[in-house]
């Protein structure tokens, strides 16, 4: 297996402030999703009640794109527009043939879930194209890995600003239930736009910790499938990975969770890619979080621990 020609750009010169997201007074009402633990006869929010014993974890770490927000489609569109524009111009310049960037063959395989610049490098490598890495400050029209990544980011932000970011209501409902019952909730995403997207979609206050692409760069964390970013999000909640679960929709993210020693990794097969997520190490795979209750999550952790 060939390694990507470059892991991305050089380090950014601009450090960013870690986004503050804790605001329990602003929690989305959870009345629309009653505590799942009542299904098994317990109320985990009452210390000493029988239901408290059914609680097998303390924190849940969510990926953002495709799990909380419906931004995956926006990313795919922005990547396609950027790469198609570039490939078309390059083909014209070299009198070569233009071959389009596809969702199934290219986005899913090389880009989805990876840090932006690594995604650029990985896809270019697949087409036998080598460009200078450049630096994060490169202009969006620079013919470098960073420049192309920045152009994609510009296109993405244009779409978000124009159309906003939709939410997966079932995910928001589960987060509200978790928080109402005292579980901690964090976010771990490769995105460098999480502050904008979370704010735009009104869910920034739901997460007690956010580790995104900006924080990762500051801390020197490796991108998914390395487990760093999930572990950092868990650590910031004060919870050991053995007592935290991961919810992810991309294969590389599921792999990251599986590599991180977490209590459970739930794969969200948004594109009917159940088999791929199972192969990547998911403990549980569903199409949407509406298919699973908190009681079932706790039960799955018990079953996993029983297997050893």
* 244 and 234 Cβ atoms separated by less than 8 Å: yes
For 245, the enclosing helix (H) or strand (E) is: strand 244-248
> Secondary structure of 48-101 in the HEC alphabet?
CCHHHHHCCCCEEEECCECCCECCHHHHHHHHHHHHHHHHHHHHHHHCCCCCCC
Residue 296 exposure: Cα atoms within 13 Å on the Cβ side? 11
The catalytically annotated residue of 58, 65, 112, 212 is 65
* 117 and 8 Cβ atoms separated by less than 8 Å: yes
- Report how far residue 54's alpha carbon sits from residue 42's, in angstroms, rounded to the nearest whole number: 8
- Residue closer to Mg ion by CB (options 212, 249) is 249
The nearest distance, CB 72 to Mg ion, in angstroms, is: 6
Contact segment (CB under 5 A) with Mg ion among 38-46, 165-173, 201-209, 242-250 equals 242-250
The catalytically annotated residue of 58, 63, 228, 283 is 63
The nearest distance, CB 213 to Mg ion, in angstroms, is: 12
- Residue closer to Mg ion by CB (options 242, 288) is 288
- Residues within window 117-176 making contact with Mg ion, judged by CB under 5 A: none
Kindly tell me which residue out of 249, 263, 284, 294 binds Mg ion, with binding defined by CB under 5 A. 249
The nearest distance, CB 152 to Mg ion, in angstroms, is: 16
- Residue closer to Mg ion by CB (options 147, 257) is 257
Residue 266 has phi, psi (to 5 degrees) of -100, 120
- Residue closer to Mg ion by CB (options 58, 65) is 65
Give the pairing of strands 264-268 and 244-248. Answer: parallel
Going residue by residue from 43 to 82, which x/- string records binding to Mg ion, judged by CB under 5 A? Answer: --------------------x-xx----------------
Kindly tell me which residue out of 250, 256, 284, 301 binds Mg ion, with binding defined by CB under 5 A. 250
Contact segment (CB under 5 A) with Mg ion among 10-18, 28-36, 80-88, 241-249 equals 241-249
> Secondary structure of 252-300 in the HEC alphabet?
HHHHHHHHCCCCEEEEECCCCCHHHHHHCCCCEEECCHHHCCHHHHHHH
Contact segment (CB under 5 A) with Mg ion among 150-158, 219-227, 234-242, 246-254 equals 246-254
* 174 and 68 Cβ atoms separated by less than 8 Å: no
Counting residues that bind Mg ion (by CB under 5 A) gives 5
**43: annotated active-site residue:** no
Burial of 255 (0-12, 13-18, 19+ CB in 10 A): buried
For residue 26, give Cα distances in angstroms to 187, 203, 204, 253: 17, 9, 10, 29
**272: annotated active-site residue:** no
The nearest distance, CB 67 to Mg ion, in angstroms, is: 6
The nearest distance, CB 84 to Mg ion, in angstroms, is: 22
Which residues have a catalytic role annotated?
63, 65
Residues in touch with Mg ion (CB under 5 A): 63, 65-66, 249-250
């Amino acid at each position: 297996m060939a390694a990507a020609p470059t892991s991305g750009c050089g380090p950014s010169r601009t450090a960013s402030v870690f986004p503050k997201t804790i605001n329990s007074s602003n929690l989305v009402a959870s009345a629309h999703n009653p505590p799942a633990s009542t299904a098994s006869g317990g109320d985990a929010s009452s210390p000493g009640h029988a239901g408290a014993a059914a609680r097998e974890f303390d924190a849940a770490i969510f990926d953002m794109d495709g799990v909380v927000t419906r931004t995956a489609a926006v990313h795919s569109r922005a990547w396609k527009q950027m790469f198609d524009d570039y490939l078309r111009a390059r083909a014209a310049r070299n009198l070569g043939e233009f071959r389009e960037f596809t969702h199934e063959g290219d986005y899913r395989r090389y880009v989805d879930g990876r840090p932006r610049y690594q995604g650029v490098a990985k896809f270019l490598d697949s087409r036998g194209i080598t460009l200078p890495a450049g630096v994060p400050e490169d202009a969006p029209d620079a013919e470098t890995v960073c420049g192309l990544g920045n152009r994609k980011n510009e296109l993405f932000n244009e779409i978000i600003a124009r159309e906003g970011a939709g939410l997966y209501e079932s995910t928001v409902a589960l987060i509200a239930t978790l928080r109402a019952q005292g579980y901690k909730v964090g976010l771990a995403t490769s995105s460098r736009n999480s502050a904008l997207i979370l704010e735009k979609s009104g869910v920034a206050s739901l997460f007690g910790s956010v580790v995104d692409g900006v924080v990762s760069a500051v801390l020197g964390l490796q991108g998914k499938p390395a487990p760093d970013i999930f572990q950092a999000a868990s650590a910031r909640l004060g919870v050991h990975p053995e007592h935290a679960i991961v919810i992810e929709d991309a294969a590389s993210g599921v792999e990251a969770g599986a590599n991180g020693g977490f209590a459970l990794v739930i794969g969200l097969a948004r594109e009917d890619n159940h088999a791929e997520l199972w192969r990547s190490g998911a403990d549980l795979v569903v199409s949407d979080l509406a298919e699973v209750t908190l009681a079932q999550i706790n039960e799955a952790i018990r079953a996993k621990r029983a297997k050893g």
